[in-house]
Structure 1
């Protein structure tokens, strides 16, 4: 019982750290990188993201991943009301509908889509191939999101995929060091993996921050959806994991994915409604009747 309480407490703390960091990042999402580096709040957001990651790793020592993964949706539950409060407005009905749909869909996916198998590491060829593919995918998505008038969700997808690659590379480095000792850090392929972690962490942070420039909720939901899905694909394709899912569960997972997609669409609509300028009523010409 004590471990369960600790796990839930840590997951709530993780969600608060990530949500607060996202809110800070959203305030400066339109600034170029050079300007961001001069803003102390940006570094505070990075520190909060680091704290969230550390607390997430710590929570794994007290509870199962099957419990911790669904609780990751708390970030969205906390971020949407926080964003409304900072904007001095109420949470809209569209936001509530979108948040509820996304949270249920994401939690359902996290509980249904599970993997089994021994923990493996990326072989040298697999690591280089993964880096090449993801660099190309992220570059294309970032380009699509950077076009005038393009949806910011392209960058949210790119950021979620980059975060997933960070997780896969971290697993490879941790397991490799655990098996072979600290001296494996001097191997060229391990150095490449460590550099990849650093680069993709920075890229993911910048892409997700840019995705918040027109609103926080929808991009945050997309990132939270793409990250675990991409991590699962990498795990099954390259890390020797197997989907522990029955045909019925696959159907339920598809339904959860559609529900989460519907929620993202509602959050995007809510963003447009909130940000749309109100058209002033035409002034009456009081002199016309005189």
Structure 2
């Protein structure tokens, strides 16, 4: 008795699902969804070739240092890097003395406690400290940025589809709204305090263009600091902040693949040896 009832219940569910699918398809054909500005004018990120790309990728430490400089001089005014410590900069080629100097000279001090009174205070950063946030809290951050909250950049290239390519395209993608967009979607005019960027999900972003001109930073290694170069460098740096162990992961992956190939070969030879006397 239980089996027939179970079969009837299963058939009922199947019928309901099939009916819903057919009704949905018919409605979609009769009344297709209205076109939106985001759907028609949103662009996918442009490909970005970095040394860290691919299964054998390795970090270009000179580029990472340039990217850190862009972050320090341009991005750090609004965006935090709360999961990265100053001492982590050793991994991209800075010496211990340089790391200590960077921490000590950082524009924002870290929260502390006055040892004499126990009252909240601030102090100069040390190598062991995380990068301090530019705002004391979310309310202050929104108040300073037209009610928009600047996101933390530590894991940005892992949190966004296309990672570094997205960051690079976004930084170099600011432009005036196309006349075609305003003609087709007159209600899509960029509002006050927003900036048109076709690589952003809804086309309008609260962040003003951070890289506005060539030479905005001066690279110590003499690399020309074009807007595109600065965007590439800071994108590469954010790949490192999001996945600092990328190189060791790649090395481990290569070793595992080699091991599996050797083990497969040995297993196949053992199989041939064990069954060599058996005729089919």
Give the shorter-chain TM-score range.
under 0.3
TM-score if structure 1 supplies the norm length? Answer: 0.23
TM-score (norm: length of structure 2): 0.23
Which is helix-richer, 1 or 2?
1
Point out which structure has higher relative CO (alpha carbons under 8 A, 6+ apart). 1
Q: Which has the larger radius of gyration?
A: 2
